[in-house]
A and B are shown apart, each in its own frame.
Chain A
């Protein structure tokens, strides 16, 4: 196998590949050689998969598993907006010391909610931009072609410059390097449920966070989730005041299995990676949305000249 390049694929620093597999054996046939090849080259190998697949891989790798770092994707990727930060840490840790790095990451596993899969798609698109001007490393993203909806597989092909199966490895004809821009600017699906709405200005941050906390509590969320939403509300409302034109609005509604809180303002977010990279502790700004991403179940950020929306879903 050789590394493929295409004219419209940016610098070969980051090699991002979708592995389409059908069943467990096919998954192992695709991933195990990739992992072993990395180990043979003395590269650091990090595998982020849901727990069942981690177990499968560990067994298949046998003694080689000891040299691999396994991460539970259901944990680090519960909110897909957290994953880039994890890979960025691994890149910094390993390539910084001169060691090569290859990763396996399956954020879009079978059984995830449709709205989570939508965020996985955006995450995959943003990965290309997060790492395209950094050190060289390889990331293989397995997709369960047999079970996943066709839209997800098509999305994977659009988000990865390279597609592979156990039979071949080719450039993805559907790859769109700038695909993230349209996805980041696209409005989120409008809720069909009854929505509580309010607006806030600079003096209303405490009242806004208390209102959100009260709503979350009234929906039956436990105290720790209420506190997280209260903190998120404060951070997001403050962002609207600081960067979104000095005011904003909040909407809250219930969906089957989720409490949803959404902040909207007139601001424009220019960096679609906002809140995804770990901020330096001594850095001014950039901590609020990062923290919201770390603490909340699912965070969706969309921004266009029409304004910015941050939607938080909390599962119950």
Chain B
């Protein structure tokens, strides 16, 4: 299973491959950048720091295992401003982002690194309301690419002042989260070829899960949804899952639900949710 949960609860940072870091104070952000980079260096990854705030943090690091200038000189570390990373591809587009980071990851592998480890401050993009839905979709696309064993790993940093609603939604697209408010109520991420839900979804977060599911990439004739890490789902959450399965059905994609809590299956039956979309349940314990 992929590392997931609160970053502070993970025994080792290297285990975290897609982190949402919400930062309020500079010192803790600098420490996070250092930890994540050092973990990448220890793994033999090429490092890519994106965003002025990250580059500033990098320049101020004096406690790294290796000095920044030599890492830059030998190509083990690259930096990009937000404009270079995002605007260079024209209008921000999740698919083009995936292509960009995919190419960079393959290049790192070809150059003998174990992978590409990215620290990106995404706040400047999240400041633009027109980009928010694409940004969230990008997070899901990136997560699938990361979970796929591509060698790509990332820490996505968001300024705390961006607002709790957006930050909650952004954090929900990451398996590992560090945020002053703790974990969002649920997270949706990829693991072992499945889309996994962790945490709790009730009537007040169901719409959020609906948007998150719609933003997740689905390929092939069958999608597997993993509910083993679910703490709680209410009626509204189950209906969102059924409606999502119905949408996929229209695209000729079958949905298989693994490890559904017993009560979820009872709800499915009592509310005739299979009339909305037939799904197959596969028993699996957490």
Query: Is the pair B270, A295 in contact by a Cβ cutoff of 8 Å?
Result: yes
Count A-B contacts at CB 8 Å. Answer: 61
CA A287 to CA B204, docked complex, whole Å: 15
Query: Is the pair A287, B235 in contact by a Cβ cutoff of 8 Å?
Result: yes
Query: Is the pair B270, A234 in contact by a Cβ cutoff of 8 Å?
Result: no
CA A278 to CA B276, docked complex, whole Å: 15
Distance (Å) between the CB of A79 and the closest chain B CB?
A: 13
CA A241 to CA B204, docked complex, whole Å: 10
Query: Is the pair A206, B271 in contact by a Cβ cutoff of 8 Å?
Result: no
Number of interface residues of B (CB under 8 A): 22
Question: Does chain B have a CB within 8 A of A238?
Answer: yes
Size bracket of the A interface: 20 to 34
Distance (Å) between the CB of B168 and the closest chain A CB?
A: 13
Distance (Å) between the CB of A76 and the closest chain B CB?
A: 13
Query: Is the pair B271, A291 in contact by a Cβ cutoff of 8 Å?
Result: yes
Question: Does chain A have a CB within 8 A of B127?
Answer: no
Distance (Å) between the CB of A295 and the closest chain B CB?
A: 7
* A305 / chain B contacts, CB cutoff of 8 Å: none
Query: Is the pair A234, B234 in contact by a Cβ cutoff of 8 Å?
Result: yes
Query: Is the pair B234, A206 in contact by a Cβ cutoff of 8 Å?
Result: no
Query: Is the pair B271, A295 in contact by a Cβ cutoff of 8 Å?
Result: no
Question: Does chain A have a CB within 8 A of B203?
Answer: yes
Query: Is the pair A234, B202 in contact by a Cβ cutoff of 8 Å?
Result: yes
Question: Does chain B have a CB within 8 A of A9?
Answer: no
Distance (Å) between the CB of A82 and the closest chain B CB?
A: 10
Contact with A along B61-88 (1 / 0, CB 8 A): 0000000000000000000000000000
When the two chains form the complex, which single residue of B235, B261, B263, B270 contacts A235, counting CB atoms closer than 8 Å?
Answer: B235
Closest to A228 in B: B263
When the two chains form the complex, which single residue of B185, B232, B235, B262 contacts A288, counting CB atoms closer than 8 Å?
Answer: B235
Considering only residues 228-286 of chain B, those with a C-beta below 8 Å from chain A are 232, 234-236, 239, 242, 261-263, 266-267, 270-273, 275-276
Query: Is the pair B242, A205 in contact by a Cβ cutoff of 8 Å?
Result: no
Distance (Å) between the CB of B270 and the closest chain A CB?
A: 5
* Residue in B232, B234, B262, B271 whose Cβ sees the most chain A Cβ within 10 Å: B234
